[in-house]
Structure 1
Amino acid sequence: MLLDASIRFPELGIEIEHLGTGINLFGIQIAYYGIIIALGMLAGYLLVEWQAKRTGQSKELYLDFALYAIIISIIGARIYYVIFSFDEYKDNLWSVFNLRGGGLAIYGGIIAGVLTALVFTKVKKVSFALFVDTCCVGLLIGQIIGRWGNFFNREAFGGYSDGILAMQIKKSEVAASNITSELMNHLVVIDGVEYIQVHPTFLYESLWNLALLIIILLYTKHKKFNGELLLLYVLGYGIGRAWIESLRTDQLLLWGTNIAVSEILSITVAIVAAFLLIYNHVKLYKQKKREKLI
């Protein structure tokens, strides 16, 4: 057994010793979180470029969009997080601009990205529905990779778990505000070191999104209308995120309530996406039926 492991998966027999949160490059501390987010963005763009080529579209169009969308989406993700976690920043407003320790909310990035796409496609005079169908695969691969930033930051985990994927993290390396009484009641002590044992929700979401990405890529050639892939993404991600969010100990809450913002938003967008998918398929079915009668 490795001693003084930072993170352990006891049921899988995996122990990672002295896992840092970043690297020092020429005297500059670079967080793994930032590196992983950057890798996610690069992989996202490359996949979108491939998807565009696969569906007979201009790759250059998506490169132009990426130059705007990446910056605006990061700003949107930060604003969303800060709005619902303002107590963390109200005494030091300059800390709002410090992204090194995390604090990006994916829904804020998605909202900003969609709004950017609306403006961009209007200016370029291209189909918004086809455009977002192509972009959603890049968003997914970015989320799949980006979630591992939470792993290195020891954040975005769930409550106590004794399942096969249960993860143990040193209590001293976790923000006290994310440690619930349930986790304290199930502390694991190994060689004098205290660990909390949690649901690795970052891993759940990464695997869920991987499955969703595979489904969308396989379905691309069979889609019935532009915008369908985005709706499948919204439906699939909304269902998964609603479940995963319910497990987390660091939920962003509506002001003055115990209602998780992302959980409510996930359920809402999943319902809307399901309705639009059914509506459009019924509409297409009726249209084909009329054409046969003619």
Structure 2
Amino acid sequence: MHPEFISFELFGKPVTIHFYGLLIALGATLGYFYAAKTAKRELGIESDVIQGLARWVIIAAFVGGKLFYYFESPAYYFGEPANMLKNFRTGFVFYGSLIFAIPTVIWYFRKHKLPFWPMMDLVAVTGCIVHVCGRMGCFFAGCCYGKPTDMPWGITFSDPLSQAKPLNTPLHPTQLYEIFLILSILVVLLMFKRHKRFEGQLFFLYIMMYAVGRSVTEIFRGDIRRGFIIENVLSHSQLISLILISLVGIFYYRFSKKQKPIVKQKP
């Protein structure tokens, strides 16, 4: 795929718009409109509150995603800080964004006295919308690429600007695997949304399903820079996935046992 969407001159200076940034912006826009409309309709929350939430989440996700990316190769980035500016607009770790975003939304919900678990369910669906666009951006940029494969659905990256390695070789389309995973999760969440047993169920399902799926897609990843706890056996993301599955599974079980009737709001 091609990382660059369009290049042009503006006031005599070259300007390049990358697919990655464009698709992230698209995901954030779609996510905001879904969250604002749903929060107003179902929870009576005004759009300006969602705007504020979106701003804080974007900042937290950017910082967390970038820091976790740097921690994958600490000697390279922290040993030579100038390397942090290379490909600054790309190179993010989803779990880093998630881990930074969750405490940010908790703080924001408490500050504005928002209904916590109903909002977390809203965040889960919104997160899927943003995430699937982000993974499409990864596909165009060539990052988060897969191992070489002889499977008929292998994808060959040939653009010299692509981050995929090696070029001109069929690779597992791990970005597309994740897109399929996230879209499947989104469908499940929307199905459960009408019949959920307790507030927070969608959020717990989102975390557990993604963690399980991510553990599987990691097997096909070829970008060794993401780091391993046990070389070629257990990656950083797989370890985080195992921890999340365990912790969230416990919460899901406890919440399901203490479930309270959900009062449906009239449209």
TM-score normalized with structure 2 length: 0.85
d(CA) in 2 for partners of 1:28, 1:145: 23
**Structure 1 residue aligned with 2:4:** 21
When structure 1 is superposed on structure 2, of 209-218 and 91-100 the one drifting more is: 91-100
Q: 2:156 is paired with a residue of what secondary structure?
A: strand
d(CA) in 1 for partners of 2:25, 2:88: 13
Q: 1:195 is paired with a residue of what secondary structure?
A: coil
Confirm or deny: 8 A CA contact 1:154 1:169 kept in the other structure.
Answer: yes
In structure 2, what residue type is equivalent to 1:38?
A
| Superposed displacement of residue 142, structure 1 | 0.8
Confirm or deny: 8 A CA contact 2:70 2:84 kept in the other structure.
Answer: yes
**Structure 1 residue aligned with 2:196:** 223
Is 1:119 aligned to 2:107, yes or no? Answer: yes
Confirm or deny: 8 A CA contact 2:3 2:161 kept in the other structure.
Answer: no
Matches within 5 A, 1:40-59: 40-59=27-46
Cα 1:130–1:71 change in 2 (3 A) is same
Cα 1:255–1:97 change in 2 (3 A) is farther
When structure 1 is superposed on structure 2, of 266-275 and 114-123 the one drifting more is: 266-275
TM-score normalized with structure 1 length: 0.78
In structure 1, what residue type is equivalent to 2:251?
L
d(CA) in 2 for partners of 1:173, 1:98: 13
Q: 2:175 is paired with a residue of what secondary structure?
A: helix
Is 1:72 aligned to 2:56, yes or no? Answer: no
Is 1:268 aligned to 2:243, yes or no? Answer: yes
Matches within 5 A, 1:230-249: 230-249=203-222
d(CA) in 2 for partners of 1:221, 1:93: 49
Q: 2:256 is paired with a residue of what secondary structure?
A: helix
| Superposed displacement of residue 101, structure 1 | 5.3
Confirm or deny: 8 A CA contact 1:171 1:196 kept in the other structure.
Answer: no
Matches within 5 A, 1:81-230: 81-90=69-78, 92-100=80-88, 102-170=90-158, 178-179=165-166, 195-230=168-203
Confirm or deny: 8 A CA contact 2:128 2:182 kept in the other structure.
Answer: yes
Identity %: 25
Provide, for residues 115-159 of structure 1, a one-character-per-residue CA deviation record: whole Å limited to 9, x for no partner. Answer: 101111121122322221111111111110111121222221211
Confirm or deny: 8 A CA contact 2:144 2:174 kept in the other structure.
Answer: yes
In structure 2, what residue type is equivalent to 1:163?
M
**Structure 1 residue aligned with 2:50:** 62
Q: 1:222 is paired with a residue of what secondary structure?
A: coil
Q: 2:168 is paired with a residue of what secondary structure?
A: strand
Cα 1:87–1:146 change in 2 (3 A) is same
Confirm or deny: 8 A CA contact 1:101 1:153 kept in the other structure.
Answer: no
d(CA) in 1 for partners of 2:45, 2:86: 36
| Superposed displacement of residue 254, structure 1 | 4.6
Q: What's the RMSD between the two structures over aligned residues? A: 2.5
**Structure 1 residue aligned with 2:256:** 281
Q: 1:219 is paired with a residue of what secondary structure?
A: helix
Confirm or deny: 8 A CA contact 1:117 1:128 kept in the other structure.
Answer: no
User: Which one has the largest radius of gyration?
Assistant: 1
d(CA) in 1 for partners of 2:200, 2:69: 28
Unaligned runs of at least 5 residues, structure 1: 1-6, 8-18, 180-193, 289-294
Q: 2:91 is paired with a residue of what secondary structure?
A: coil
Q: 1:278 is paired with a residue of what secondary structure?
A: helix
